[in-house]
């Protein structure tokens, strides 16, 4: 009986091991695809712009951003291409609206709580051919508008997805977030360029105003103002373009603690079940499955204290770290993060902690944004 039971256990463990290797194989294929797509992005020059035909309004939906908004407005006023500025106040309690008025920019109030109603109100107020959506806490270079419009006009785009990077990267915590966010940008950039992947960050998007799909946004879902808009444009046969030129990038600060990072990622993940893009859903499921696999093997090894089980667990972690290293080296080079050896070594366990924390926020119903439970 004991021999039969032991044999059964080893069959189960062996099957589990083979399944885990298959999962890692899918992850390896995804990493290879992301890097391949990223390397295919060309670095071409766009034709000169006609300032009249290329009017641009920067729409800044914001809540409680009195400390950040003046810096962004100063950056926008330094642009080499003229930009109209429109602030949409989402019920701020710290004087954000007054600060915008004192700075002499147009500021309107959102008709309802949430970023999506604020964006819709801003789009309705704008009159230029092009509109950009920016988060209030980003910083821009002087040629940001020029670079984004070059991609829009030169490639006859309906929407342009621009890169978002995190910084400054002074600590291991900062570099972890910068590497993780950069990896997401590599996937998004390569995907948008290769197949029109409907993904991007709402912190740096450009739209043809007449094509902005206000009717497709879903205010009931906390996140997704960026993705739902891009998906709607894609369904309407619009052209999505990635502008990877560093001039088009925006810089923002990372989360200050694990709790704030978990809350942010939980909010982002809340839209996953409503997405239509199959690749995005597959990647979300794959990443979640990889994390569950690593967690299950690690817990089993710690509970059972079995040497072969422990060695198998270490092997899986080693495979994951090697695949991450290949991707993160590309990220480090592309976004100049200046990562150190220990940043690569600790990335995988930190990432697992991040994912588990985000899931915990969702399951406990504690997804909060700007002081509001959503």
Tens of pLDDT, residues 23-72: 999 999 999 999 999 999 876 555 556 654 689 999 999 999 999 999 99
Strand partners, 86: 59, 106
For residue 157, the model assigns a pLDDT of: 93
Sheet bearing 250-252, strands edge to edge: 139-140, 250-252, 164-166
CATH class of the domain whose range is 56-162+200-254: alpha beta
Phi, psi at 36, each rounded to 5° = -60, -45
Judge whether residue 173 has pLDDT over 80. Answer: yes
User: Contact 279/192 with Cβ under 8 angstroms?
Assistant: no
Digit-coded pLDDT (tens) for 326-357: 999 999 998 989 999 999 999 999 999 999 99
Separation of alpha carbons 196 and 234, rounded Å? 8
Please report which confidence band the pLDDT of residue 278 belongs to, taking 50, 70 and 90 as the band edges: confident
First to last CA, the chain: 54
CB 240 within 8 A of CB 157: yes
pLDDT (mean) for 174-199: 92
Q: Is 3 a residue whose pLDDT tops 90?
A: no
Q: Over the stretch 304-325, which tens digit does the pLDDT of each residue have? A: 888 888 999 999 999 999 999 9
355: tokens are: 């994912």
Distance (Å, whole) CA 224 – CA 232: 12
Residue located via tokens 């399944």: 19
For the cut 70, the answer to whether the pLDDT of residue 265 exceeds it is: yes
Measured over the CA atoms of residue 24, residue 27, residue 31 and residue 36, the dihedral's sign is positive
Q: So what's the pLDDT on residue 69?
A: 94
Confidence of residue 252 (pLDDT cuts 50, 70, 90): very high
Residue ranges per domain, the chain?
56-162+200-254
The kind and range of the H/E element at 61 are strand 56-62
> CA-CA distance, 247 to 142, in Å (whole number)?
8
CB-count exposure of residue 84 (10 Å: 0-12, 13-18, 19+):
middle
User: In sequence order, what are the residues at sequence separation of 6 or more whose Cβ sits closer than 8 angstroms to the Cβ of residue 158?
Assistant: 207, 208, 211, 233, 236, 238, 239, 240
Give residue-wise pLDDT tens across range 219-240.
556 566 788 888 889 888 899 9
CA distance 332 to 336: 5
Residue range 151-162: average pLDDT?
Answer: 92
Beta strands in 81-176 (DSSP E): 84-89, 106-109, 130-134, 139-140, 159-161, 164-166
**Can you give the pLDDT at residue 373?**
62
User: What's the confidence (pLDDT) of residue 52?
Assistant: 46
Name which of 295, 286, 293 is nearest 357 in CA terms. 295
**What phi and psi, each to the nearest 5 degrees, are found at residue 240?**
-100, 135
């Amino acid at each position: 009986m004991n021999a039969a039971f032991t044999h059964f256990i080893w069959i189960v463990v062996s099957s589990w091991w083979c399944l885990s290797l298959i999962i890692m194989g899918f992850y390896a294929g995804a990493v290879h695809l992301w890097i391949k797509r990223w390397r295919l992005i060309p670095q071409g020059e766009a034709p000169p712009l006609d300032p009249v035909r290329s009017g641009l309004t920067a729409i800044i939906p914001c809540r409680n951003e009195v400390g950040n908004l003046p810096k962004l407005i100063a950056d926008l006023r330094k642009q080499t291409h003229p930009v109209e500025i429109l602030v949409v106040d989402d019920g701020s309690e710290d004087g954000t609206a007054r600060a915008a008025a004192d700075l002499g920019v147009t500021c309107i109030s959102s008709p309802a709580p949430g970023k999506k109603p604020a964006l819709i109100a801003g789009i309705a107020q704008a009159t230029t051919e092009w509109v950009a959506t920016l988060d209030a806490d980003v910083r821009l270079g002087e040629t940001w508008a020029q670079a984004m419009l070059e991609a829009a006009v030169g490639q006859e785009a309906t929407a342009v997805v621009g890169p978002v990077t995190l910084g400054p990267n002074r600590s291991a915590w900062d570099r972890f977030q910068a590497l993780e966010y950069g990896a997401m940008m590599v996937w998004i950039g390569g995907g948008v360029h290769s197949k029109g992947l409907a993904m991007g960050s709402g912190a740096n998007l450009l739209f043809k105003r007449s094509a902005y799909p206000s009717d497709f946004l879903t205010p009931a879902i906390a996140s997704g103002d960026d993705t739902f808009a891009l998906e709607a444009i894609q369904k309407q046969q619009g052209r999505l373009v990635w502008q990877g030129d560093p001039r088009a990038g925006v810089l923002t600060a990372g989360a200050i603690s694990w709790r704030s990072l978990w809350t942010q990622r939980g909010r982002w993940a809340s839209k996953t079940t409503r997405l239509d893009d199959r690749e995005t859903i597959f990647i979300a499921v794959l990443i979640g499955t990889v994390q569950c696999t690593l967690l299950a093997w690690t817990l089993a090894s710690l509970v059972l204290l079995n040497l072969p089980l422990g060695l198998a667990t270490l092997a899986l972690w080693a495979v994951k770290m090697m695949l991450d290293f290949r991707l993160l080296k590309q990220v480090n080079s592309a976004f100049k993060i200046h990562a150190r050896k220990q940043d690569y070594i600790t990335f995988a366990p930190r990432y697992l902690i991040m994912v588990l924390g985000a899931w915990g926020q969702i399951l406990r119903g504690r997804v909060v944004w700007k002081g509001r439970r959503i």
